[in-house]
Structure 1
Amino acid sequence: MMYDLIATSTFGIESITAKELKALGYEDLKIENGKVSFEGDEMDIAIANVHLRTADRVLIKMAEFEARSFEELFQGTKKVDWSKIIPVDGVMHVVGKSVKSTLHSVPDCQSIVKKAIVNSMSESYGIEQFSESGPVYKIEVAILKDVVTLTIDTTGPGLHKRGYRELAGIAPLKETLAASMLLISRWKDEFELIDPFCGSGTILIEAAMIAQNIAPGVNRSFVSESWPSMSGNVFNIVKEGARKSQKQKDLKIIGYDIDYRTLKVAMENAEKAGVDKYIQFQKRDFMEFSTSRKYGFIVSNPPYGERIGEKKILDELYKHMGRVKKKLDTWDFNILTSFEPFEKTFGIKSTKNRKLYNGKIKCYYYQYFDNDKIKNFGNTLIQELIG
């Protein structure tokens, strides 16, 4: 069966998610704020969930229509043939959101949609009561400017849940955002990669997984695996194919942090991800940073200074970072921070910057492209993804 599918993503990442989908062979993509739409069957649902590094979820779009009254919402929802996906014992869990719409009461909208789905299912199955004791179907009613979009989530826990990071630091960077930072950067695995503020190791682990072509969802489960509408063992087939395509490259990936306990967490996370042998973790203060390599990349999410009284410390840190960049004038730097005067403090105008959100914190990703040697290397997966 073919479906209208949606890969959701964080604001600012949509184009990267779209390039991932193109690299997986999908065409006719529609990019909107926070989502990329495409078509696919059960196999494509599995492929997208297992392979996408930057998406948050993969949804099935069931319907889209205008509604300015509860009756219009009810009738629009009831028209959908929910039984083609949801079995007679399916758990129908409805969530919702409403933005700039006449129907602004989300709890009321959720209740109306659930009632309409049950009504539709009753007509399909010829019964009035449903046990809801089987597989889970999370249905979302999203209303934007009076346009209703009804979806079913195929993912379950968000795609950033790779399974390797049970432990994290104080301000953990989502795995999906870390992967996005790497794919936006020009890093190629022939070059050394350093994160001098590595925390729980997320950027470095994601880099190793990208370089070794380890699919981010290969070692986790998805809610739609239990659905009877998913033909055979489609997820197992996709995961097995992903495992066979993994690589074993020599890599130079290094992480520094000033706190040994944090480094220990990073080491444990890398081991769980199966990439610990590719990453070197060192207890080191960035103020003492040095390297003898002429070419390399820094990709990092340094401290933001959200607490009062930290601005002076950050001023000195970012000034020192700028001095390091001037010495490493053939290295690419890629820095994600919410520190407003970053460029002024750093002392160098970035080649590019883009607005990204780390959770609810508005950040900018400052990129300094100075590694001209990268032009002499052939294309790799990362270059294909960033076009």
Structure 2
Amino acid sequence: MSTYTLIATAAMGLEALVANEVKALGYECRTENGKVIFKGDETAIARCNLWLRTADRLKIVVGEFQAKTFDELFEKTKSLPWEQYLSANAEFPVQGKSVKSTLFSVSDCQAIVKKAIVERLRKQYKIETWLSETGPLYKIEVALLKDKATLTIDASGAGLHKRGYRVGQGGAPLKETLAAALVQLTNWHPDRPFVDPFCGSGTIPIEAALIGQNIAPGFNREFISEEWEWMPKKVWDDARLEAEDLAKYDQVLDITGSDLDHRMIDIANQNAFEAGLGDLIDFKQMQVRDFTAKKEYGVIVANPPYGERLGDRPQVEAMYEEMGRAFAPFETWSIYILTSHEEFEDCYGKQATKKRKLFNGFIRTDYYQFWGKRPPRPEKK
């Protein structure tokens, strides 16, 4: 087994959650803007792809260096041990980005990195003609930030939010990674009721169920690094076996999702079935103002419409008022609501206990947290 420098990329505001997940898997890490950096072997690559709920993707760092000229970029890229990662027939497209750097032409940087890797591989594999690029796919990225170049290989492929269960979605679907983050930022435990009154295609309830039964979010999909020659099949088999062993399929859950649109309820049911959770989540058509609950100490997580378009605002604000009235009697319930509406608390009729800045795609939002009364402590015998 070799040791690699790995990066788990994260949406702004979720770095601490991703870091906690990496630590829970047993890897020491450090956090920077938009990423969590740590060391790990081939097993770590497989386990992190399978288990990271809130990260966007996993990358392997091949090298980092200062580069202010194209010659520097070429020579330093060429000096890296690409043959340790790429086979002689590897397919390796190069993507790029440049922020606050002297080398600002991304297309030129991509072309130079590609040429440098080609020269390195041709020399190492003693190939005099063109590389065939008919083998496994390695997606390479050159990222320049303040003249520092970081060269990485994507170990995930499709983003980690693509769990493989979403067969249908609504107009503005919530990313699965953000949905998992919203659940993790609550005080919910699997033995308490969980409700999403704006469930749409069911993403938040499905992610809650995966968390509740400790099911690895990547169990239902494949990853680009599974095709690499130096990633043994046994590593993946063992990682999946571990995930199966750690799943708590017998954990009883009380999870409900509701939505005004009956078509979304049908899609939510299909998605839950695809995730293998069809019997665990109760989806029903209902308006938020009709919310009621007989149980105590439950958790509500909601991603209601934001009223981004001015014409929608009066209707959305009236709905926020309805929410405030509907939830008010349930003093033992904790309520968490994500919205970009800056006057949400005024409409809702209550000040949040706490709020946290998050980004839903490119939309800046606040996650309003209204903590319910704590359950009484069990009496000592």
Q: Same fold (TM over 0.5)?
A: yes
- Deviation at residue 294 of structure 1 after TM alignment: 2.6
Aligned partner of 1:163 in structure 2 is 164
- Deviation at residue 292 of structure 1 after TM alignment: 2.2
Aligned partner of 1:88 in structure 2 is 88
Aligned partner of 1:209 in structure 2 is 210
Structure 2 CA distance, aligned partners of 1:285 and 1:41?
Answer: 49
Structure 2 CA distance, aligned partners of 1:293 and 1:323?
Answer: 18
Gaps of 5+ in 2: none
Structure 1 CA distance, aligned partners of 2:155 and 2:183?
Answer: 26
- Deviation at residue 308 of structure 1 after TM alignment: 3.3
CA-based RMSD: 1.4
Aligned partner of 1:123 in structure 2 is 123
1:285 aligned to 276, 284, 287, which one? 287
Aligned partner of 1:22 in structure 2 is 23
Provide Cα deviations, 1:141-177, integer angstroms capped at 9, x if missing partner. Answer: 0011111110000100000111000211110000000
Structure 2 CA distance, aligned partners of 1:357 and 1:23?
Answer: 24
Aligned partner of 1:254 in structure 2 is 256
1:312 aligned to 311, 314, 317, which one? 314
| TM-score, length basis structure 2 | 0.96
Provide Cα deviations, 1:296-320, integer angstroms capped at 9, x if missing partner. Answer: 1101111111233111111111112
> Is the partner of 1:130 in helix, strand or coil?
coil
Aligned amino acid, residue 89 of structure 2: D
Aligned partner of 2:189 in structure 1 is 188
Matched, 1:149 2:146: no
- Deviation at residue 290 of structure 1 after TM alignment: 1.8
Change in Cα spacing, 1:267 to 1:11, as seen in structure 2 (3 Å) is same
Provide Cα deviations, 1:208-257, integer angstroms capped at 9, x if missing partner. Answer: 01111110111211000010011243112211221122112111100111
Structure 1 CA distance, aligned partners of 2:205 and 2:50?
Answer: 20
> Is the partner of 2:112 in helix, strand or coil?
helix
Flag the structure with more relative contact order, 1 or 2, with Cα contacts below 8 A and sequence separation at least 6.
1
Contact kept? 1:296, 1:371, Cα under 8 Å: no
Aligned partner of 1:103 in structure 2 is 103
| Count of residues paired in the alignment | 376
Provide Cα deviations, 1:244-299, integer angstroms capped at 9, x if missing partner. Answer: 22112111100111111110000000000011111101110112222222321101
Matched, 1:229 2:230: yes
Aligned amino acid, residue 142 of structure 1: A
**For residues 59-98 of structure 1, what are the structure 2 equivalents within 5 Å?**
59-98=59-98
Provide Cα deviations, 1:336-372, integer angstroms capped at 9, x if missing partner. Answer: 1111211222222212211111111111111112241
Aligned partner of 1:57 in structure 2 is 57
Aligned amino acid, residue 35 of structure 1: K
> Is the partner of 1:334 in helix, strand or coil?
strand
Structure 1 CA distance, aligned partners of 2:104 and 2:299?
Answer: 47
Structure 1 CA distance, aligned partners of 2:325 and 2:88?
Answer: 65
- Deviation at residue 34 of structure 1 after TM alignment: 0.8
Provide Cα deviations, 1:35-69, integer angstroms capped at 9, x if missing partner. Answer: 10010010110000001111111100111111111
Aligned amino acid, residue 243 of structure 2: A
> Is the partner of 1:96 in helix, strand or coil?
strand
Structure 2 CA distance, aligned partners of 1:71 and 1:371?
Answer: 63
Change in Cα spacing, 1:295 to 1:48, as seen in structure 2 (3 Å) is same
Contact kept? 2:9, 2:34, Cα under 8 Å: yes
Structure 1 CA distance, aligned partners of 2:377 and 2:176?
Answer: 28
Identity %: 50
Aligned amino acid, residue 41 of structure 1: D
Provide Cα deviations, 1:90-124, integer angstroms capped at 9, x if missing partner. Answer: 00110011111111111111001101111111221
1:364 aligned to 342, 363, 366, which one? 366
Q: Tell me which moved more, 286-295 or 57-66.
A: 286-295
Change in Cα spacing, 1:258 to 1:375, as seen in structure 2 (3 Å) is farther
Structure 1 CA distance, aligned partners of 2:258 and 2:78?
Answer: 56
- Deviation at residue 179 of structure 1 after TM alignment: 0.4
> Is the partner of 1:38 in helix, strand or coil?
strand
- Deviation at residue 9 of structure 1 after TM alignment: 1.0
Structure 1 CA distance, aligned partners of 2:290 and 2:328?
Answer: 15
Matched, 1:331 2:321: no
Provide Cα deviations, 1:14-47, integer angstroms capped at 9, x if missing partner. Answer: 10001011111112x1101111001001011000
- Deviation at residue 375 of structure 1 after TM alignment: 7.3
Contact kept? 1:11, 1:356, Cα under 8 Å: yes
> Is the partner of 1:263 in helix, strand or coil?
helix
Matched, 1:6 2:12: no
